């Protein structure tokens, strides 16, 4: 017999788990399928920045989506913690973006449009930077912009809590089982093919992260590729900054216990998750240039993860030309940030709610070439 479910979600990262929890909470039968262990790929490797204002220098559809998702975070994480009894480490720390020279300082002026939108943006001179950061910054940091509404979450804790909540709501989680291709007959997707058979579903959602393009037999391209990011974890103890710090070369994300995450790279090296010595050295050097206390920090660990990148750095969301198949993939650097809004929007579409126009994020924008122009995407800096 072919197992049946209302919605089959391929991919057990933060996006897949958040959507599974949301759908189950709306009374849908949900199966979550993961090729490995749920939550152990890009979601576990992320730094957890919730920082749409700092990440986007220009308005656009992705900025609007990210800003809306940030607004959901306080209540979303509170309800998740109450539901599971697990803390997820969400904190509204604010984020201080710093400049070292005239060119970088001029670049900070590019955020002024946000203030005109009514968003909180505070330009700072050199004399007030360290007090705002809660730690002594390097003397050659000459200016900054503070975003008080930005924050961070612990992605590992978040994804584990989402998975726990999904299971508690009745989601069937099948780990160590890879989808080989979509089960399509005519113009409709009926499920997925796995080793030894098929899993049937009324709807299938591809939330497989960097592996979202696994089915090369689809009649359209899904140009999602892995983009490696490396992160270093340090323990600064009481010398840790109070707020997140960001320069053009590096970011620092403090945890409540004095640990600080230093990241990150954008490397197109295929499905290789190695940590490389040169990158670790460069990240630490860049962090110490911003926060000298880094030099005396205790090294904890370093890791690498594979972000799901697209040609225009925008996610792939919503329906496609194959009936019954939807996408919640290609979130690149913003999977943790966009998890709550992605879960809500996709669940609305799958449960007959008020469906938002997602044309800007549709897979059809890639046509038959697998390329698309960037619209409101963050800049492709080397270290982000």
pLDDT digits (tens, 9 = 90+) for 136-149: 999 999 999 999 99
pLDDT at position 118 is: 95
Shared-domain flag, residues 240 and 351? no
Domain that holds residue 167: 7-61+156-224+311-366
Q: Is the pLDDT of residue 373 over 70?
A: no
Q: Is the pLDDT of residue 113 over 60?
A: yes
Q: What is the pTM of this model?
A: 0.94
Shared-domain flag, residues 162 and 294? no
Give the least confident one: 2-11, 122-131, 343-352.
Answer: 2-11
Q: In this structure, are residues 239 and 215 in contact, taking their beta carbons and an 8 Å threshold?
A: no
Q: What CATH number did the domain enclosing 295 receive?
A: 3.30.9.10
Asked whether residue 301 is assigned to any structural domain, the reply reads: yes
Total structural domains within the chain: 2
Calculate what percentage of the chain has a pLDDT beyond 90: 91
Asked whether residue 78 is assigned to any structural domain, the reply reads: no
pLDDT at position 378 is: 38
Task: List pLDDT tens digits, range 175-197.
Answer: 999 999 999 999 999 999 999 89
Contacts of residue 18, defined as CB under 8 A and 6 or more positions apart, other chains included, come to: 162, 339, 340, 342, 343
Asked whether residue 76 is assigned to any structural domain, the reply reads: no
Model confidence band, residue 372 (pLDDT cutoffs 50, 70, 90): low
Q: Residue 274 burial by CB count (10 A; 0-12/13-18/19+): exposed, middle or buried?
A: exposed
Shared-domain flag, residues 129 and 162? no
Shared-domain flag, residues 15 and 48? yes
Q: Is the pLDDT of residue 93 over 50?
A: yes
Strand partners, 235: 259, 298
Model confidence band, residue 3 (pLDDT cutoffs 50, 70, 90): low
Q: What mean pLDDT comes out for the span 1-10? A: 83
Place of tokens 């160590």: 176
Shared-domain flag, residues 165 and 287? no
What SS3 class is residue 102? helix
pLDDT at position 231 is: 98
Asked whether residue 68 is assigned to any structural domain, the reply reads: no
pLDDT at position 4 is: 86
């Amino acid at each position: 017999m072919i197992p049946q479910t209302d919605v089959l979600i391929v991919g057990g990262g933060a996006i897949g788990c958040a959507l599974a929890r949301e759908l189950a909470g709306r009374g849908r039968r949900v199966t979550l399928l993961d090729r490995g262990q749920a939550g152990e790929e890009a979601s576990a490797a992320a730094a957890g920045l919730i920082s749409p204002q700092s990440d986007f220098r220009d308005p656009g559809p992705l900025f609007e989506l990210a800003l809306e998702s940030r607004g959901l975070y306080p209540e979303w994480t509170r309800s998740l913690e109450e539901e599971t009894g697990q803390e997820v480490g969400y904190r509204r720390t604010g984020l201080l973006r710093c400049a070292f020279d005239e060119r970088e300082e001029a670049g900070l002026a590019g955020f002024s449009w946000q203030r005109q939108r009514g968003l909180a943006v505070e330009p700072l001179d050199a004399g007030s930077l360290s007090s705002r950061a809660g730690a002594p910054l390097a003397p050659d940091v000459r200016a900054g912009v503070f975003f008080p509404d930005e924050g961070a979450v612990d992605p590992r804790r978040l994804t584990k809590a989402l998975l726990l909540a999904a299971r508690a709501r009745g989601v069937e989680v099948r780990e160590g089982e890879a989808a080989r291709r979509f089960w399509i007959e005519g113009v409709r997707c009926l499920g997925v093919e796995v080793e030894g058979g098929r899993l049937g579903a009324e709807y299938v959602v591809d939330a497989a992260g960097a592996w979202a393009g696994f089915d090369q037999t689809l009649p359209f391209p899904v140009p999602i590729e892995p983009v490696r990011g490396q992160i270093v974890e340090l323990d600064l103890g009481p010398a840790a900054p109070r707020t997140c710090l960001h320069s053009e070369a590096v970011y620092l994300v403090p945890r409540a216990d004095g640990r600080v995450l230093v990241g990150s790279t954008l490397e197109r090296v295929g499905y290789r998750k190695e940590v490389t010595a040169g990158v670790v050295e460069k990240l630490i050097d860049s962090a110490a240039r911003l926060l000298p206390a880094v030099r005396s920090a205790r090294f904890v660990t370093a890791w690498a993860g594979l972000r799901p990148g697209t040609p225009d750095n925008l996610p792939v969301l919503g329906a496609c030309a194959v009936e019954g198949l939807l996408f919640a993939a290609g979130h690149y650097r913003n999977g943790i940030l966009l998890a709550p809004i992605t879960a809500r929007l996709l669940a609305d579409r799958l449960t007959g709610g008020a469906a938002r126009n997602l044309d800007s994020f549709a897979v059809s924008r890639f046509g038959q070439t697998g390329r698309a122009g960037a619209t409101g995407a963050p800049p492709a800096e080397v270290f982000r």
